[in-house]
Amino acid sequence: MDLQEYSIEELEQIISEQQKKILVSYQFLKEEGLSETEKKRIEDDILRLKNQMFQYQVILRKKYSEEFKKSQVGKGDL
């Protein structure tokens, strides 16, 4: 599915889930006894999740802007 096809509510939910995954990943990263390979994998996962979340946030901002513009149509100068 193209990111543009998601509704505002769906994007907000996806971003919330991404944030939770990032927080959980940071918790794993703090665990004792992780090998450098495991730490690197977790750091890579965090970076990937952050990048995905950023893409969703950009689309969400565009959708908020579109909704705002639609809400202003016909209001004119009051």
Residues 17-59 pLDDT 10s: 999 999 999 999 998 899 999 999 999 999 999 999 999 999 9
What's the pLDDT at 49?
96
Query: Considering the entire predicted model, what is its pTM?
Result: 0.78
The confidence score (pLDDT) of residue 2 equals: 76
Query: Where are the chain's structural domains?
Result: 7-57
Give residue 1's pLDDT: 64
CB burial of 30-56 (b: ≥16 within 10 Å; e: otherwise) equals eeeeeeeeeeeebeebbeebeebbeeb
* pLDDT (0 to 100) of residue 76: 62
Tokens 């149509």 map to which residue? 73
Q: How many C-beta atoms lie closer than 10 Å to residue 18's C-beta?
A: 19
Yes or no: say if 15 and 60 are a contact pair by the CB < 8 Å rule. Answer: yes
pLDDT of 4 reads 79
